[in-house]
């Protein structure tokens, strides 16, 4: 597995640094700002070997130009990306060999149409999912459709439960507040709130989460469960298919 270290950026972004054990080379995921990455490299005597981009938004790509200015390194990203800094275009089912490990590419449009995720299957498994899946949440639908985002959630559901989830924002407590509104009697959500509050009080990230945890607490991963279906009934959609249920819960979150 990669050794994964969060590099905080802006107000609530995480740039993930990926390092193979014993290596002095790293890759970074979604470097919206170059300065904290350069500082991390200098402080730890590391060199940058690659950049992974999940989607084109500026808070995920804004540091790329500066980071590659004096380096000859690949910038991986989705084949539909409007970000011109991508040098290695990736599509559904592609693999990337990185620092001795392999990443599987899955297209997960919804938040944006170019969004991809990177999955490393060895050990517990590691998922780098940008703004698609969050702890207890999912990304807003800026470009894609509810059906596309639901398809992404269904892909994530089928990953091994031990898979570690590395999303790129510290949204956990806000997401958990909504999850508890959807399922007020869900004890796993209540416990996750306590755990995340303690981590934030200690100035620690609430991430990574795991697929197993999300299957217990994340309403967008639970749109096939009776409690979430019942919660969607306030929108008169409880008899709809899962896409209708997902759409109702996502609209509720938009207004929460």
Nearest to 37 by CA among 56, 58, 20, 60: 60
Catalytic, out of 55, 56, 114, 115: 55
Alpha-carbon gap, residue 156 to 177, rounded angstroms:
22
Domain with 80 in it: what CATH number? 3.60.15.10
Each residue's pLDDT tens digit in the chain (256 positions)? Answer: 999 999 999 999 999 999 998 899 999 999 999 999 999 999 999 999 999 999 999 999 999 999 999 999 999 999 999 999 999 999 999 999 999 999 999 999 999 999 999 999 999 999 999 999 999 999 999 999 999 999 999 999 999 999 999 999 999 999 999 999 999 999 999 999 999 999 999 999 999 999 999 999 999 999 999 999 999 988 776 677 899 999 999 999 999 9
Name the burial class of residue 110, with classes exposed (0-12), middle (13-18) and buried (19+) by CB atoms within 10 angstroms of its CB: buried
Mark whether 115 is an active-site residue: no
Catalytic, out of 30, 60, 114, 115: 60
Overall number of domains in the chain: 1
Q: How many residues does the chain have?
A: 256
DSSP helix/strand/coil, 28: strand
Q: H-helix or E-strand containing 181? A: helix 172-182
User: In 45-152, where do the E strands start and end?
Assistant: 47-52, 75-78, 88-90, 95-98, 101-107, 116-120, 126-130, 133-134, 137-138
Q: Would you say the pTM of this structure is higher than 0.95?
A: yes
Mark whether 79 is an active-site residue: no
Mark whether 185 is an active-site residue: no
pLDDT tens digits, one per residue of 192-217? 999 999 999 999 999 999 999 999 99
The pLDDT assigned to 53 comes to: 98
pLDDT tens digits, one per residue of 4-34? 999 999 999 999 999 998 899 999 999 999 9
> Domain of 112?
3-255
Alpha-carbon gap, residue 115 to 117, rounded angstroms:
7
| Residues sharing a CB contact under 8 Å with residue 183, sequence separation 6 or more, in sequence order | 189, 219, 222, 227, 228, 231
Nearest to 123 by CA among 199, 27, 20: 20
Mark whether 131 is an active-site residue: yes
């Amino acid at each position: 597995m990669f050794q994964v270290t969060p590099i905080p950026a802006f107000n609530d972004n995480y740039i993930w640094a990926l390092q193979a054990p014993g290596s002095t080379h790293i890759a970074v995921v979604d470097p919206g700002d170059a300065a904290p990455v350069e500082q991390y490299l200098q402080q730890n005597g590391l060199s940058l070997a690659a950049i992974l981009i999940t989607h084109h938004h500026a808070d995920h790509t804004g540091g790329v130009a500066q980071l590659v200015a004096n380096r000859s390194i690949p910038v991986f990203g989705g084949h539909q990306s409007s970000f011109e800094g991508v040098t290695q275009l990736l599509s559904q089912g592609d693999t990337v060999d990185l620092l001795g490990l392999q990443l599987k590419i899955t297209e997960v449009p919804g938040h944006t149409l170019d969004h991809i995720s990177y999955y490393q299957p060895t050990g517990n498994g590691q998922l780098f999912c940008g703004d698609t899946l969050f702890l207890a949440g999912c990304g807003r639908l800026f470009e894609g459709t509810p059906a596309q985002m639901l398809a992404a959630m269904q892909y994530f559901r089928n990953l091994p439960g031990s898979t570690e989830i590395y999303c790129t924002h510290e949204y956990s407590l806000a997401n958990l507040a909504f999850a508890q509104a959807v399922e007020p009697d869900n004890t796993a959500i209540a416990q996750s709130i306590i755990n995340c509050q303690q981590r934030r009080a200690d100035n620690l990230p609430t991430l990574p989460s795991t697929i197993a945890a999300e299957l217990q607490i994340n309403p967008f991963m639970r749109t096939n469960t009776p409690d979430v279906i019942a919660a969607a009934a306030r929108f008169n959609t409880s008899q709809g298919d899962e896409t209708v249920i997902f759409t109702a819960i996502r609209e509720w979150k938009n207004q929460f």
